[in-house]
Structure 1
Amino acid sequence: MDTNTNYVMDTISHSPSAFIFGACCVFYLVAYPIIKYYQDPKGLRKYPNMTLFSGISDIPFMILAHTGARSRELIKIHKKRPVLRTGPNTLSYTDPRAIKDIYGHGTKCTKDGSYVVGAGSHYHLADVVDKSDHARKRKVLSSAYALKNLEGWEHKVADKTARAIRHFDKCCTAPLASNRAIPAKEDVNLDYRKWMNFFTLDAIADIGLSEKLGFLDRGSDEVMGRKTDGTRYECNLRECLYASNRKQSLLLWSYDYYKVIDKLANLIPFYGRLGKLGAKWDGVPLDLSYRRLERYRAGEKLDDFFQALMEDKNGNPNNLEMGEIVAEVSIMMNAGSVTTAVAMTNIIYQLLKNPEIKKKLVEELDAALDDENEDEDDDASEDPFAAVVSYDRVKHLPYMRACLDESLRLFPPTPHNLGRQTPPEGANILGDYIPGGVSVGMTALAVHWNEEVFPEPHKFIPERWLGEEGKNNQPYFLAFSAGARGCIGRNISYLEQAVVLASVLRRYEFALPHPGWEIERREGMNWLLGDMPVKIWRRQRVTA
């Protein structure tokens, strides 16, 4: 034997505990999963595996997540296989009829282990699993998210829209020449995606906490965070938030081992950087919560989400723990900004890619709004606040809502499989009995891109949401999930999208860098969009 071999054998002979530990690890991590696969206690081997080893390990799905196209690749694998086993205890569906069984109001399925292992010290409304606790939270928060309250807070949305318009005015260039399809490079000076994110963060902070972040005024997302020891630091909110989003989206999928994998991954520089930024994000809602709580304790009665969180409509305290308050502020700042920013970017992108549809929408807006008098138009030309369109004027416009919904269908801000767990007694899905404790779900893209449900699914066709066809398509619209666990913030999202879209289309024209330009999309827990540089100029409206 060579020297190295002698050393290893000598170490083993003197360290039997190390050898036993190593053997146990190999058995637990390799042999045991294989044995369980062949024992098949839940009868899942009858379903085709996503890959050769998907029935044994969650690693193949984690590898798929690293492509940045998790849902898109999954539905390709799903071709001719409506049910796939994507992990040892996970089934993925594409048949639209499964929506009712998995997500419908009558389902007994609960949120699966991904929400448990991804939660912080306290659950928030989006990740709480227990149905009674969810009902309690929803009762507390439903009044805050009720449409009548949101419309009362429209002035905050209008304020942020005007601040965005003020910046857009500064970026305006001369109109694009009619004989040119490609704008001059120096004229492409507005990153629409970034400014929509500034908008949604400023808006949700004001609506939720009466906090003026000032991102739209400064053109920067620098914000203060707070450590648990009370020390404060400065960070870039978007960078930290999206790093947290991305790291979780890469590693979450092995629920039993996620906590360990998440910590070990920090030893690798790429994940370590994401982890450090994610930790900084955790301190942002903590700092916002402490500052707003100080104002509440000082007796300020502010018309915002936080007030509804602290007291019921009769002024009785809800007596929430600090950890729960921070959790609710965290999901409000996260889900309340990320998804709507994605949606607002996507709709302008789709309209620029489909100019005939954009023309039709602008004509609808003009017909609805051109009864405003000339003085108001003159004021709007100089005053960005006068240029903001009232939600009440556009909320019932059918073609605008159809455009918003079609954009959400084509690229739902949260495309991935929202996992649900079958109850202990099991559940019937598509008439097939699934034992208890199995994770089931479907990516929204599986339905939204199903050509049997939506003909020509990859085309932007708003007309599919009009009239009877539109009513018939609603059960297959998963942009806000479905059932009792559907997104509670959909009303505020539509309000923000409608006000901003109507206001900017009335005031501006846009052009992408060139006709073939495509926006970059990477799938995290939501779509992570690249920059969207555009040329912008003031629209010349023809009045009668």
Structure 2
Amino acid sequence: MYVAISVPYVAALSLFLFGYFVVYPVVVYFRDRNGLRRYPNMHLLSGISSLPFMVLAHGGARSTYLAKLHQEHPVIRTGPNTLSYGDLRAIKDIYGHNTGCTKDSSYVITSGSHYHLADVIDKHDHARKRKLLSSAYAIKNLEGWEHKVADKTLRMIKHFDNCCTEPLKPITIPKPEDINVDYREWTNYFTLDAIADIGLSERLGFLDQGSDRITARRLDGTRYECNFRECLYQNARKQSLLIWPYEWYPTINKLANMIPFYGRMGKLARDWDGIPVELAHRRLQRYRAGEKLDDFFQALMEDKTGHANNLEWGEIVAEVSIMMNAGSATTAIAMTNVLYQLLKNPTIMKKLVEELDAALEDEDDEETEAGAVSYDKVKHLPYLRACLDESLRLFPPTPHGLPRTTPPDGANILGDYIPGGVSVAMSAFVVHRNENMFPQADKFIPERWLGEEGKALQPFFLAFSAGARGCIGRNISYLEQTVVLASVLRRYELALARPDFELKRLETMNWLIEELPVKVWRRQRTSRLSG
């Protein structure tokens, strides 16, 4: 009796699944209601299924692959309802201030109980949030943030000083025991400590302890310990692997936890959720105790006149979460990338160091020994900024296309009508490797950003996205990158483990990069009073 019932049931279920996952997508593809069959597919099955893009995501180099395809095709269909653009003219259509496109549903399915500034889709709600935080992120506040950035720079320098070795002899390779600083790790400790202080007046102490071990809090109030960076990055990695069939992502995400590879990432993602809860809770306690602190949390709680914003707790936690995430990860990646490029290009390094020395020649010995360079003295140095921007161009910390949905009545992109509800995107990596706009695009050439020619490139610089949804933390990132790089190059010389060392990268939502081990020693500068 059991067999007689189960066999028809299994057969019916199999037929249903085959029809739903195979036949129906094929019918939809040929029906082509949105007219997307006119565009070349990334893969033979891209118009039918998101599976090819999921497979590509598991390779950790989505944008690199798309950049090659876009050398031949300005528009590529990457999924049943998604298009990738490579023509630079589409930037304005997709991301410009007057675009009708909004963030697509991928931001909805990865959000928590409340939206934060980066994942909110509704334009009115976004405008409300941006107004709430814009004063805190305004460029006029740079002076208020600088002492916090300088403090973290000094703490990092203290560690580097302890790791200094004898100067490297010309045309030699460092001894293995002298490669004792992972620049990637320590700049990440820096950005985490800095954004926690700027945003929450919180001293995490990662630079002091040489570890990112942190206490987190569950919703029931119990606490636990975890490693900040591991939790944050593995959460993003899991999303980047599984999110692409948007409608099925919540189910796939749960089912994937039964597979050890994904299950570990899922556990770390849950651990991550408790970190912003604990940090927000600690800061709230201080606020309730009457502390008036100059940080972003204060801007969340009150407007400029001191009136309460009355935000829900979930929204406050969400804003703390994205601040600790976006406010640390991408800047740390940028810091690592630019030093790596300079070490691989010693002529450019020499030119930058000469610019820094000329700008800082009036520093007295006491300032020099302090270690942290004043932002005011280096913020306008053209070659320093050019090196930062060229590194951000060559390897943007967030390389993939930030997806947008066309409005209900459709949108014109590159002069073509795209119906409503289609996801469209441009990868920053694809844009930045466009040979027509950036000749010798695979090479590190800071000079391209100098003068009027450099200004003309800015509309095609997507390291911080573009338009109304561009990165609100851009000013903070440049402040931190500028002070750290100037301070390090003013004080030290550094060397890679070997000339052929290659920095390893894995594309998730950002570009996860592995260790950057270096040898560090104090510079021997000639005194300006000598001779």
Shorter-chain TM band? over 0.9
Which residue of the partner structure matches residue 392 of structure 2? 408
Matches for 1:107-122 after TM superposition, within 5 Å: 107-122=99-114
The alpha-carbon deviation at position 542 of structure 1 amounts to: 1.1
Match of 1:275 among 241, 246, 266: 266
Distance in 2, matches of 1:9 and 1:57, equals 35
The alpha-carbon deviation at position 69 of structure 1 amounts to: 0.5
Distance in 2, matches of 1:397 and 1:252, equals 42
Aligned alpha-carbon RMSD (Å): 1.2
State the Cα deviation string for residues 146-178 of structure 1 (Å, max 9, x = none).
Answer: 111232111100000000000000000000012
Distance in 2, matches of 1:466 and 1:78, equals 27
Which residue of the partner structure matches residue 263 of structure 1? 254
Letter in 2 for 1:464: R
The residue matched to 1:71 in structure 2 has which SS? helix
Distance in 2, matches of 1:59 and 1:522, equals 19
* Alignment pair present for 1:236 and 2:231: no
The residue matched to 1:45 in structure 2 has which SS? helix
Which residue of the partner structure matches residue 469 of structure 2? 485
Which residue of the partner structure matches residue 119 of structure 2? 127
Match of 1:461 among 431, 445, 454: 445
Match of 1:452 among 436, 444, 449: 436
Letter in 2 for 1:98: A
The residue matched to 1:511 in structure 2 has which SS? strand
CA contact (8 A) 2:67 2:433 kept: no
Which residue of the partner structure matches residue 472 of structure 1? 456
Does the C-alpha gap of structure 1 residues 428 and 298 become closer, same or farther in structure 2, counting only changes over 3 Å? same
* Alignment pair present for 1:105 and 2:108: no
The alpha-carbon deviation at position 234 of structure 1 amounts to: 0.4
* Alignment pair present for 1:509 and 2:498: no
The residue matched to 1:162 in structure 2 has which SS? helix
Q: How many equivalent pairs are there?
A: 528
Matches for 1:82-161 after TM superposition, within 5 Å: 82-161=74-153
* Alignment pair present for 1:57 and 2:49: yes
Match of 2:356 among 343, 360, 365: 365
Distance in 2, matches of 1:534 and 1:8, equals 66
Distance in 2, matches of 1:471 and 1:53, equals 41
Distance in 2, matches of 1:373 and 1:497, equals 23
Letter in 2 for 1:521: R
Matches for 1:422-441 after TM superposition, within 5 Å: 422-441=406-425
The alpha-carbon deviation at position 228 of structure 1 amounts to: 1.1
State the Cα deviation string for residues 15-59 of structure 1 (Å, max 9, x = none).
Answer: x4x544443332222211111111111111111111010000001
Distance in 2, matches of 1:416 and 1:374, equals 45
The residue matched to 1:223 in structure 2 has which SS? strand
* Alignment pair present for 1:40 and 2:35: no
Q: What are structure 1's unaligned runs of at least 5 residues?
A: 1-5, 381-385
State the Cα deviation string for residues 449-480 of structure 1 (Å, max 9, x = none).
Answer: 01111000011100100001101100100000
CA contact (8 A) 2:62 2:507 kept: yes
Distance in 2, matches of 1:106 and 1:353, equals 41
The alpha-carbon deviation at position 375 of structure 1 amounts to: 4.4
The alpha-carbon deviation at position 8 of structure 1 amounts to: 5.6
Letter in 2 for 1:324: E
Distance in 1, matches of 2:501 and 2:36, equals 44
Letter in 2 for 1:113: S
Match of 1:543 among 512, 527, 531: 527
My pick for the range that moved more, 143-152 or 489-498, is 143-152
Letter in 1 for 2:177: E
* Alignment pair present for 1:11 and 2:2: no
The alpha-carbon deviation at position 400 of structure 1 amounts to: 0.4
The alpha-carbon deviation at position 9 of structure 1 amounts to: 5.5
State the Cα deviation string for residues 51-103 of structure 1 (Å, max 9, x = none).
Answer: 01000000100000000111101222233111111000000000000000000
State the Cα deviation string for residues 242-293 of structure 1 (Å, max 9, x = none).
Answer: 1101101111111111101100100100000000011001100011011111
The residue matched to 1:157 in structure 2 has which SS? helix
Residue identity over aligned pairs, in percent, reads 71
The alpha-carbon deviation at position 12 of structure 1 amounts to: 2.2
Distance in 1, matches of 2:4 and 2:45, equals 33
What TM-score does the superposition give when structure 2 sets the normalisation length?
0.98
Match of 2:294 among 284, 291, 303: 303
Distance in 2, matches of 1:407 and 1:145, equals 24
CA contact (8 A) 2:410 2:417 kept: yes
The alpha-carbon deviation at position 7 of structure 1 amounts to: 7.8
